[in-house]
Chains A and B, each alone.
Chain A
Amino acid sequence: MALESAIGSANTTRASSSLTLGMKISRINWPLLVMLSLIACYGTAILYSAGRGWSPWAWMHLLRFGVGVVMMLVVALIDIRHWMRLAYPIYVLGLILLIWVEVAGDIGMGAQRWINLGFMQLQPSEIMKVALVLVYARYFHIINPGRISHPVSLLLPLALLVIPVALVMRQPDLGTALLLLAGSGGLMFLAGVSWIYFASAIAAVAAALPIAWGFLRDYQKNRVLTFLNPEADPLGTGYHIMQSKIAFGSGGVFGKGYMQGTQSHLDFLPEMQTDFIFTMLAEEMGMIGALVLLCLFGAVIAYGYIIAMRVRHQFGRLIVLGVILNFSVYVFINMSMVMGLIPVVGVPLPFVSYGGTAMLSLLFGFGLLLSASVHRGVPIPENTGMFL
């Protein structure tokens, strides 16, 4: 067993240390790219309907996806060990930018989230989503598995998580904070942190809920309250949920037909091109269309697990499933939100919602995933020497 493993390890070490560009390209998981492209095209079609034409959204969406895919492939071809070295620098950069938006960020939708780069608006929290996956994967790759559940070992990961979450909550962006928490928690779980921590964390959260309530902004409280009883105030904050459910339900099994959605085209549906795009899709394409999209997402996730199992190093495995976890949390929160299962939180649907930074950060993440897959056999020592 140990011998086999050692031989296999030696083989792959030899093979991957001398990977040529051609070999790397051939190792890229092209089926994944096809699935992501299908989702993006589906999104483009729905945005075409939302905007009644290529402008203002459909064309731009497709263009961004194209640019993002190129970036993703570039990221995939860079050796995973470089990314491992860059984990903390990227994290620090994200942190600096997060602090910067506190100071100089533009005001949008009542929350400071963006840095205006001129050609696009950068959300530092998006960088942070990727950076946290990187630093967690690195940390739990290096740490002695025997000590993984020791409280002292968890101090650094918790600190790395708490600082950006606190900053994001201050903005205030509940959706992103939830994404960061869920992604990081999932990584800790995968890395092997003891059950006891998760059980006690859940118990602590339940106990702290009433206290946390006091820290929420009014609009966040309203969202929770209207979620609990949307019919109580159908013209106030419950309006969005009610209208979304009406649009969703009225679509029926086969939908109202492409470009035929009444709720969306008559402006009853708010933010239909961004957070509520899934509602519009369900209204026009019906349950069939909604389940097709759900299956595409499910396929990407399932494929992610297959890729993860093929990676030979813990760092890569954590990267792959970290990215997949983030992606699935996006999908789950967005879909549940528009169907009234959870309160309204501003989370886009990956590759379908219109919006630049979320798509780029997701594609960057998938680039890392692919890089881990391409470089699945490279030897990564437990002690890299740089930054811990």
Chain B
Amino acid sequence: MLPGGRDNKQIKQFTRRAALLGGAQALMFGVVASRIYFLQVIESEQYKVLADENRISLRLLLPQRGRILDRYGADLATLRQNYGVILIPERTRDIHQTLNTLGEYIPITEQDRVRVLREIRAKRSFMPIIVAENLSWEDFARINVKSYDLAGVQPIVGETRAYPYGPLLSHLIGYVASVSEKDLEAIENPEPVLRSPGFRIGKSGIEKMLDTELRGRAGNMRVEVNAYDRVIRELTRTEGVTGKDIVLSIDIEMQKAAAAALTGQSGSIVCLDIERGEVLTLVSVPGYEPDAFNMGLSNAQWRALQNDPMHPLINKSIAGLYPPGSTIKPLIAMAALSTGAMSPSDGVFCNGRFRLGNHLFHCWKKEGHGAMTMREAIKHSCDVYFYETGRRTGIMPMHDMGVQFGLGVKYDIGLPDEKQGVMPSPDWKRKRFGQPWVGGETLIAAIGQGYMQTTPMQLAVMTARLASGRLVIPRLVRDVSAEAKPIIFPHLNVPDEHLKIAQDGMWAVVNEVRGTAYARRMEGNGYQYSGKTGTAQVRRISREERYRKGGVTKNENLPWEQRDHALFVGYAPSDTPRYAISVVIEHGGGGSLVAAPIARDILSLALARESHGLKLYTPDTQTS
């Protein structure tokens, strides 16, 4: 074969095959070109949307929560800065690795880790999760520097609720805490802001009841973010609305004094401004640390609070139920007057006992009070006089009078879990127990025992109405805008003469020799106050105990939970009543001995505060 022939044949074959290969390459390039066309023309719109979804992120601007102030403008609940770190699971490459790395910069406990992993499973992967909160500035700064390397991790500066007075106002103000899934289920169409990490809502007290006002409204901004969710620039912004400040009627100084007076006890003090019905003091002890709920409570802490015999979680002022005991006697007297069952001068002889049918009822004073008129009976708190008054009056007039004075009634004062209490009647008993009313129960009711259940708030309202003769309605939140408008409560449906008799009796309790609270009268400030002691029995005293040698066991010899409740209701000054008070000390012993001096001190303080030249808070006073 000639070399040329070989060459020729080779060239021919090479050319043929090169053409085929070239054709194949042209085909491939055609495929590539049509793919380019497909992606960039046919499917382009869809990818443009996806690209924008990638880079544009809608961020909520959390509104600043409103403050809660006392009547003179003292901060009761404010905000402080809170440094934290959040994690967006879908932006991380590996959750465990990210947490490990994060753990090198900030403290992450095993507990945190378990919680974060649990939340990641529970929430959708684009929902941010809080890894750490309340970080120190140093830790926070470290994370800020490193977060670029940590995909899905974002440092955040939040504001968190601060409660400068802690347990002192725990029942009143309540607390805020993270929004739970349960909270969200309870709300129809929850605002998106509720799903923001770290967002808090009120869970108790004023924080809960006025949550929507305090919360404000969230704004939003559209931002451009990079793949690590770092904000590159802001595109648009809609400002939110800051939450409203809430001004309470509370006077924090009186609140402090009242809580101090109850140190170590379990009980309540409610003090009202009679003219406007404003609650100046609402103390329930013991309290709890509201911050603990905000930060997250451990199970052990929660159980401890739940099982405490002094019930720190219950607001006793509105949710504690107590028999009013003798504090109800002025009211019973007026019920008797209203029906004419008794006249003020009618006499009843007390020998310490009162017989109705086969039952024997006892006066607190074993040897008896002797001859009693209405005024004297209130002054000495004679039980026998009121057994007889009750017997003559009957339960219904007593019930009606109680309801008119605010017992067994809810005021919707603006706090959760307010209790109604019980002002018993035959109807009520039939409905409640399916049994008819019996006469002995009327006698027991006349001394504020038996079925009768009242809250300390109701006792304070009763006293305010007794002192003023007006339908005082308690209020906790001051309407700052309508401040100029005076509040005038309507008169009660009770003749003035009857009120006078009750008031006179209550004056005598404190200001006449041998009155049950004479030893606790005001001295040195030029004021007199009026009141009524009460000692509510919480156990049944057996016949044997009453007649044995040494008599009824003294309170100090009983276990705490069997001791009597000490009660006192009062108002001051006696001639021109401006403040009404109720003091209830659970298992505190005698009302005159324990509760009366506290009531006197708080009333004295309220009177003394008048001359301090305090200015009520209005938003204008703040700006000027």
Contacts and interface: CB of A to CB of B under 8 A. Distances in A.
A332 B13 contact: no
Contacts of B10: 145, 192, 314
A308 interface: yes
A266 B90 contact: no
Interface string A268-306: 100000000000001000110011001001100110010
B614 interface: no
A301 B55 CA distance: 38
Interface size bracket, A side: 35 or more
B25 A1 contact: no
A249 B28 contact: no
Given A250-B47, A266-B226, A290-B36, A145 B6 contact: yes
B14 interface: yes
Given A294-B29, A301-B25, A267 B41 contact: no
Contact of B39 (A186, A190, A265, A339): A339
Given A248-B39, A250-B51, A5 B8 contact: yes
Contact of B21 (A235, A291, A321): A321
B50 A251 contact: no
A2 B40 contact: no
Nearest to A301: B25
B40 A253 contact: yes
Contacts of A265: 226
B17 A262 contact: no
Nearest to B151: A267
**Chain A: interface secondary structure?**
helix
B14 A268 contact: no
A267 B54 CA distance: 10
Contacts of B35: 335-336, 339, 341
B5 interface: yes
A252 interface: yes
Contacts of A268: 51, 54-55, 226-227
Nearest to B48: A250
Given A5-B7, A286-B40, A321-B21, A266 B54 contact: yes
B235 interface: no
A263 B36 contact: no
B209 to A, nearest CB: 43
A1 B5 CA distance: 9
A41 B33 CA distance: 22
A379 B54 CA distance: 62
B4 interface: yes
Contacts of B228: 267
Nearest to B13: A192
Given A268-B55, A286-B40, A336-B32, A248 B47 contact: yes
A10 to B, nearest CB: 11
B17 A189 contact: yes
Contacts of A2: 2, 4-5
A267 B91 CA distance: 13
B36 A339 contact: yes
Contacts of A190: 14, 17-18, 21
A246 interface: yes
Given A5-B8, A309-B15, A263 B40 contact: no
Interface string B89-128: 0100000000000000000000000000000000001000
Given A266-B224, A268-B227, A287-B37, A9 B4 contact: yes
Interface string A155-192: 00000000000000000000000000000001001111
A211 interface: no
Given A266-B224, A287-B41, A328-B25, A294 B36 contact: yes
Interface string A331-347: 01001100101000000
A302 B21 CA distance: 11
A325 interface: yes
Contacts of B46: 249
B259 to A, nearest CB: 54
Given A192-B10, A308-B18, A341 B40 contact: no
B33 A252 contact: no
A138 interface: no
Contacts of A6: 4
Interface string B216-258: 0000000011111000100000000000000000000000000
Contacts of A186: 21
Contact of B40 (A243, A251, A302, A314): A251
A376 interface: no
Interface in B178-229: 224-228
A246 B28 CA distance: 22
B44 interface: yes
A317 interface: yes
Interface in B498-521: none
Contact of A290 (B14, B40, B232): B40
Contacts of B21: 186, 189-190, 321, 325
Given A249-B47, A294-B33, A262 B40 contact: no
A85 interface: no
A186 B14 CA distance: 12
A245 interface: yes
B142 interface: no
Contacts of B48: 249-250, 252
Interface in A125-140: none
B36 A287 contact: yes
A247 interface: yes
B295 interface: no
Given A252-B44, A321-B21, A332 B51 contact: no
Nearest to A9: B4
Contacts of A314: 10, 14
Contacts of B225: 266
A324 to B, nearest CB: 9
B31 interface: yes
B619 interface: no
B28 A332 contact: yes
A266 B232 contact: yes
A305 B20 CA distance: 12
B147 to A, nearest CB: 14
B41 A253 contact: yes
A262 B51 contact: yes
Contacts of A291: 33, 36
A250 to B, nearest CB: 4
B40 A249 contact: yes
Nearest to A290: B36
Given A2-B2, A249-B44, A250-B51, 9 more contacts: A145-B13, A189-B21, A246-B51, A267-B226, A291-B33, A305-B22, A328-B25, A335-B35, A341-B31
24 contacts: A2-B4, A189-B17, A190-B14, A243-B54, A247-B47, A249-B43, A249-B44, A249-B47, A262-B51, A262-B54, A263-B51, A263-B54, A263-B55, A287-B40, A287-B41, A290-B40, A291-B33, A297-B29, A302-B22, A309-B18, A321-B21, A332-B28, A335-B32, A339-B32
Query: Sorted from nearest, which 5 A-B pairs have the closest CB atoms?
Result: A249-B47, A250-B51, A5-B4, A267-B227, A266-B226
